[in-house]
Amino acid sequence: MADNDYLIRLEGLTKTFSINSSRGFRSARLTAVNDVSFDIRRGEVFGLVGESGCGKSTLYKAALRLIEASSGSVYYQGRNLYEMSFRELMKVRREMQVVFQDPYDSLNPRMTLEELAAEPLRIHKYGGRARRLARTEELFAAVGLPVQLIKGYPHQLSGGQRQRLCIARALSLSPEFIVCDEAVSALDVSIQAQILNLLLDLKEQMGLTYLFISHNLSVVRFVSDRIGVMYFGRLVELAGKDELFDHILHPYTYALLSAVPEPDPGWIRKYAVLQGSVPSMLRPQAGCVFHSRCPHGDRLCTQTPPELRDFGGGHYAACHKAGELNLSLDTGCLAEKG
Amino acid sequence: MRTLLSNKFIMLGGAMILAMLLIALFAPLLTVYPYDGLDLANKNQAPSLEHMMGTDPYGRDVWCRVVYGSRVSLMVSFAAVGVAVVCGSVLGIVSGYLKGGFDLAAGRLIDIMMAFPSLLLSMIIGVALGPSTRNMCLSIGIPLIPIFYRVARGAALSVGERTFVIASESMGSGRFRTMFRHVLPNVLPQIFVVLSMGMGGSILAEASLGFLGLGIPQPTPSWGLIVNEGKPYMFTAPWTTGFSGAFIALTIWGFNLLGDGLRDHLDPRV
Amino acid sequence: MSDGGVLLDIRGLRVRFPMRGRGPVCAVNGVDLTLRKGESLGIVGESGCGKSVTFSSVMRLVQSPPAVLEGEILLDGRDVMRMSGAELRRMRGKEIAMIFQEPMTSLNPVMRVGKQIIETLRLHESLSEKQAEEKALEYFQMVEIPDARSRFWCYPHQLSGGLRQRVMIAMALICNPRVLLADEPTTALDVTIQAQILELLGRLRRKNDMSVVLITHDLCVIAQLAERVAVFYAGRVVEEASAGELFANPMHPYTMGLLRCVPTMRTVSRRLDMIEGNIPDPACLPAGCAFHPRCPFAADVCREQAPEKRFFGERRFAACHRAGEVG
């Protein structure tokens, strides 16, 4: 993946946790993120999808060094975050901000909206009081919050307004890179569209780069330029948005995409039913992580883990049979009712 | 400030505590008898015009002793609870937020303290440090630390898991800043609840120590001591225990009201 | 409307929660809904629109007082509002069963799942422990829990989210209820699991000939399962229609907006159509039509008068002054 125009690059990022088992003294090891490498280009929206527990949250936390990765490195503008001192890291953090899923829990209920929006400014000692207030008012306007609310408290806001405030806070130090961790998942549908449009507008205006993490494939498809699919701590497929949806290479991606319901009762879906149960994180199996549920698995898949291979045009997949299978969404899963 | 005064609980509780403090401060102006003047001829006298709260088993004026007793009792309970709140909450918040090794070490230390009955621990500390008012505060305050530690740690553990704490870290905030800016204010309400309990507990602990002869040296009165002195005559001369007990009760009630009021006042949602 | 096949009839339901120091929260403001035998009714709406409160009132799970309930809820002609405690207990589970969003919190964590089902069953039917266990196992197999016999004696935390929701469904169905209320049954689940659960619910409905009410904020889920759809906004039903008609030809501006603002797999535009503004606070609803501050078609009449239902065929209406003119 040689491309010099990247903003952030992950190389072999791995994070294992040790879990105290209930029996005995030996603690089990859980690999939440397993050897993940990809890069995010300047100015793009990189979508990361996967089901709950696939390690996508752990991945971004390790990528920002909010938690320490077990191995691997993260290059931000060419500099390895894992070789930085704490001070340097704090400086770089100004440029990388996070918008969290739950707008009800990500704002300290005992702080005013002004204090909340200006918190990064205070942490990084930006200007004096008046300067910070001016900046806060500017941010309120940028995200579409009424400036009169500035002295209020979070409980006076609706969910959508809270998420706007979280975005304002993330923008306060003019960052380069924003991680949106399920940023619209907890919002009502009519509000979701407002926030998605806002995020895209801000990206255009400020030249931001997003890592957009979500379990909602329709949303990820809408916002992203490139999409990575995670399963069980591994990146199983990575491609440009249209390429991914038109030429699925990994059977897991196929199962995931075909399960997305359409808002149209005239269509029924023939989705790929996943067999078998989800394997245990604690007892890693040999071979491909997906083989126990894969309808196409054979002996090779149970023995050797597949590498992430390049299929041209920036399309990567980690599957032994990638390219041999016919995984087309159009013919397979949309069939007219009756 | 206006909203602070409009809270009925804070007003009432505050007024009660303030009244107690004024009584303690102006004790000499409020009394006509010395607090240590023995008058064995007039022991256990019922309230009368001369002695508005009667006399104790040694013939001393109960009102006078109660008024002077408030000095010791209030000071000891304030100081003791102060020691306990500061040590317990700080240890607890740091433990609950940082977890790991610090939590383990602090937790075991607290376990050791809790293994002793608190009165026994007070006595050990009291004997080890020798009798004085300052040591008295320490010997009452230290056994209260586990209460505040446990409450603060539990609350900090749950607050530490909330997104705004993680968000603050992701913005580049240091651990201590996060701890005092985000964790502490959200742990305070729980601490306030135990605070008023601790106040009451320390007044009673002071009484118990006084009874065992480990308190403030005689003849300096304290509320607990007065209650204890009057106890054998509780049915024949109830005023000694009754009036001093009433002061203890009023003070604790005042603290409870103040604590509840402050908790509500500090919550922006109310 | 004919009364022939009507199983559940909600007439003019109002639910208010009095608040200390300010006006009451009007969660439900005059809802009329009918559910026929064997029908699947989808209820769509955003948070605070009264959809859950309406059906909690049907189960009489809304504490009253403090809540003030008005109107009639007829289950087979009997008024649920006037039922005694014993009658209510008989109704819950046996005639109407409910499944919730979060299957972890609706199961007792310290009790084996099989035991929980057996207890539910024996509340309503006099069966021996052995018979109850057999019947429960049968239902475990019916909801397609793989390896049902060993899963039967698991604790809830040992099961995945999808399996827990299947257990909840088995528990809800075991007394053969005539109505199943599913309140956001798949919201907490992954898409692959969601697809399986929705399909299972559809199959069980046809097999057991039961009525299903599916309450959700997700139009895609509604499209998969519901035959009829009622759209809730600010405590009212603003539009009701068969699923096909509603998705193809929405009449109320709110429904139109909802359908357009959700990104789907087929969305190609780089901007979403959106509904401006915020969801109204149920404690202070706007005058006139509650949707008018957000409605692109709002006229003067909308600001002054609450709209009546306008019918466009049997059981097809929109509560909008301008329904039929715009779209």
Residues of B in contact with A163 (CB under 8 A): none
| C147 Cβ contact list (under 8 Å, min separation 6) | none
Pair C63, C233: CB distance under 8 Å:
no
**Mean pLDDT of the residues in chain A:** 85
Across the A:B interface, residue pairs with CB atoms under 8 Å apart total 60
Q: Where do the H-state alpha helices sit in A10-154?
A: 56-63, 86-93, 113-117, 119-123, 129-143
Q: Show the tokens assigned to C58.
A: 């049907």
Q: Which residues of C touch A (CB under 8 A)?
A: 46-47, 146, 160-161, 190-192, 194-196, 198, 217-224, 226, 243-244, 247-248, 257-259, 261-267, 270-276, 278-279
What radius of gyration do chain A's Cα atoms show? 21
Give mean pLDDT, residues B81-105. Answer: 91
Out of B167, B173, B269, closest to residue A109 by CB: B269
Residue of A nearest to B186 (CA): A110
Percent with pLDDT over 70 in chain A: 88
User: Looking at the predicted structure, is the pLDDT value of residue B161 above 50?
Assistant: yes
User: Looking at the predicted structure, is the pLDDT value of residue A24 above 70?
Assistant: no
Q: Show the tokens assigned to C21.
A: 């120091």
Could you tell me which chains touch chain A, where touching means 3 or more CB pairs under 8 A?
B, C
Please indicate whether, in this complex, the C-beta atoms of A106 and B173 are within 8 angstroms of each other. Answer: no
DSSP H or E run through B190 = helix B184-211
Label residue B269 by pLDDT band (50, 70, 90). Answer: low
pLDDT for the residue numbered B5:
67
pLDDT tens for residues A254-270? Answer: 888 888 887 777 666 66
pLDDT for the residue numbered C4:
47
pLDDT for the residue numbered A10:
94
User: Looking at the predicted structure, is the pLDDT value of residue A92 above 60?
Assistant: yes
Q: Show the tokens assigned to C43.
A: 């209820």
In whole angstroms, what is the distance from residue C154 CA to residue C111 CA?
Answer: 9
pLDDT tens for residues A267-302? Answer: 666 666 666 666 666 666 778 888 888 888 888 888
pLDDT for the residue numbered A91:
85
pLDDT for the residue numbered A335:
45
B22 touches chain A (CB under 8 A): no
Pair A96, A180: CB distance under 8 Å:
no
In whole angstroms, what is the distance from residue C114 CA to residue B74 CA?
Answer: 59
C-alpha distances in Å from residue C135, one per residue of A48, C116, C121, C151: 44, 13, 9, 15
User: Looking at the predicted structure, is the pLDDT value of residue B109 above 90?
Assistant: yes
Please indicate whether, in this complex, the C-beta atoms of A97 and B162 are within 8 angstroms of each other. Answer: no
Q: Is the peptide bond before B219 cis (omega within 30 degrees of 0)?
A: yes
The segments of chain C whose pLDDT lies below 70 read 1-4, 21, 103-104, 327
Look up the ipTM and state it.
0.83
Give mean pLDDT, residues A62-90. Answer: 90
Pair B233, B119: CB distance under 8 Å:
no
Q: Where do the H-state alpha helices sit in chain C?
A: 51-58, 85-94, 113-124, 129-142, 148-151, 161-173, 191-208, 219-225, 243-248, 253-261, 300-304
Out of A97, A101, A155, closest to residue B171 by CB: A97
What radius of gyration do chain B's Cα atoms show? 21
In whole angstroms, what is the distance from residue C63 CA to residue A25 CA?
Answer: 48
In whole angstroms, what is the distance from residue C255 CA to residue C249 CA?
Answer: 10
User: Looking at the predicted structure, is the pLDDT value of residue B251 above 90?
Assistant: no
Label residue A337 by pLDDT band (50, 70, 90). Answer: very low
Looking at the domain that runs over B10-33+45-266, which CATH code has it been given? 1.10.3720.10
A88 touches chain B (CB under 8 A): no
User: Looking at the predicted structure, is the pLDDT value of residue B106 above 70?
Assistant: yes
Pair A269, A258: CB distance under 8 Å:
yes
Q: Which residues pair with A11 in a beta bridge?
A: A73
Could you tell me which chains touch chain C, where touching means 3 or more CB pairs under 8 A?
A
**Mean pLDDT of the residues in chain B:** 84
CA neighbor of C120 nearest in space, from C97, C101, C154, C146? C97
| C277 Cβ contact list (under 8 Å, min separation 6) | C293, C294
Highest mean pLDDT among B38-47, B51-60, B236-245, C29-38: C29-38
B166 touches chain A (CB under 8 A): yes
Write the class of the CATH domain C6-95+206-318.
alpha beta
| C202 Cβ contact list (under 8 Å, min separation 6) | C40, C224, C225
Sheet containing C78-79, strands listed edge to edge, beginning at the edge strand earlier in sequence: C22-36, C6-19, C68-75, C78-79
Domain boundaries, chain B: 10-33+45-266
Residues of A in contact with C221 (CB under 8 A): 261
Q: Which residues of A touch C (CB under 8 A)?
A: 51-52, 158-161, 188-194, 196-197, 200, 215, 217-219, 221-222, 245, 255-257, 259-266, 269, 271, 273-274, 277-278
- Distance from the Cα of B159 to chain A's closest Cα (Å) equals 10
> Given the structure tokens 């990022």, which residue do they identify?
A13
pLDDT for the residue numbered B41:
77
Give mean pLDDT, residues A44-67. Answer: 90
At C130, is the secondary structure helix, strand, or coil?
Answer: helix
Please indicate whether, in this complex, the C-beta atoms of B186 and A110 are within 8 angstroms of each other. Answer: yes
In whole angstroms, what is the distance from residue B224 CA to residue B241 CA?
Answer: 9
Q: Show the tokens assigned to A110.
A: 């005992």
A78 phi-psi bin (left φ>0, alpha ψ -120 to 50, beta other)? left
pLDDT tens for residues B61-71? Answer: 888 888 888 88
Pair B264, B9: CB distance under 8 Å:
yes
CB atoms within 10 A of CB A41: 17
Q: Show the tokens assigned to A210.
A: 């997003």
pLDDT for the residue numbered A232:
87
φ, ψ for residue C99, nearest 5 deg: -120, 150
Please indicate whether, in this complex, the C-beta atoms of C223 and A263 are within 8 angstroms of each other. Answer: yes
| A45 Cβ contact list (under 8 Å, min separation 6) | A203, A209, A210, A212, A223, A224, A225, A226
Residues of A in contact with B169 (CB under 8 A): 66
In whole angstroms, what is the distance from residue B33 CA to residue B62 CA?
Answer: 10
A153 touches chain B (CB under 8 A): yes
Query: Of the given ranges (A77-81, B34-38, B266-270, C30-34), which has the lowest mean pLDDT?
Result: B266-270
pLDDT for the residue numbered C255:
92
